[in-house]
Amino acid sequence: EAGVAQSPRYKIIEKRQSVAFWCNPISGHATLYWYQQILGQGPKLLIQFQNNGVVDDSQLPKDRFSAERLKGVDSTLKIQPAKLEDSAVYLCASSPGLALPNEQFFGPGTRLTVL
């Protein structure tokens, strides 16, 4: 079974530029998550989708971050404009659904450096 795919793996941009990340979850997984992991910290949820609907985006900085999952499969996360503090690893995860125990499967992440 293929795992969660993410691209690109690395991205370096200057502040105020825009960037987009892509995620393809495990086939058949209804729930998709985007996490931000700042160096030395645990992952923090940014947004959670159930199929193509948003379940939780309370921690998403909506003035600069946006995400979509139009067909309920793959997803994109965008930052515009980027700030220095957005430097982090952006992790995508998926799970079969909302039922517990909510075992999530993670992709390799995209490491973003904002200069």
Partner 1 sequence: GNSVTQMEGPVTLSEEAFLTINCTYTATGYPSLFWYVQYPGEGLQLLLKATKADDKGSNKGFEATYRKETTSFHLEKGSVQVSDSAVYFCALSDRGANNLFFGTGTRLTVIP
Site residues, partner 1 (CB under 8 A): 3-4, 31, 33, 40-45, 48, 55-56, 91, 93, 98, 100-109
The closest of 10, 39, 31, 3 to 99, measured between CA atoms, is 31
Q: Half-sphere exposure of 99 toward its Cβ, with a 13 Å CA cutoff?
A: 2
* In the complex, least distance from residue 65 CB atom to partner 1, rounded to whole angstroms: 16
3, 107 contact by CB (below 8 A): yes
* In the complex, least distance from residue 17 CB atom to partner 1, rounded to whole angstroms: 26
Q: Which is nearer to partner 1, 15 or 54 (CB)?
A: 54
Q: Which is nearer to partner 1, 1 or 103 (CB)?
A: 103
Q: Which is nearer to partner 1, 4 or 114 (CB)?
A: 4
Positive or negative: CA dihedral 81, 86, 92, 95: negative
* In the complex, least distance from residue 25 CB atom to partner 1, rounded to whole angstroms: 13
Q: Which is nearer to partner 1, 16 or 97 (CB)?
A: 97
* In the complex, least distance from residue 41 CB atom to partner 1, rounded to whole angstroms: 6
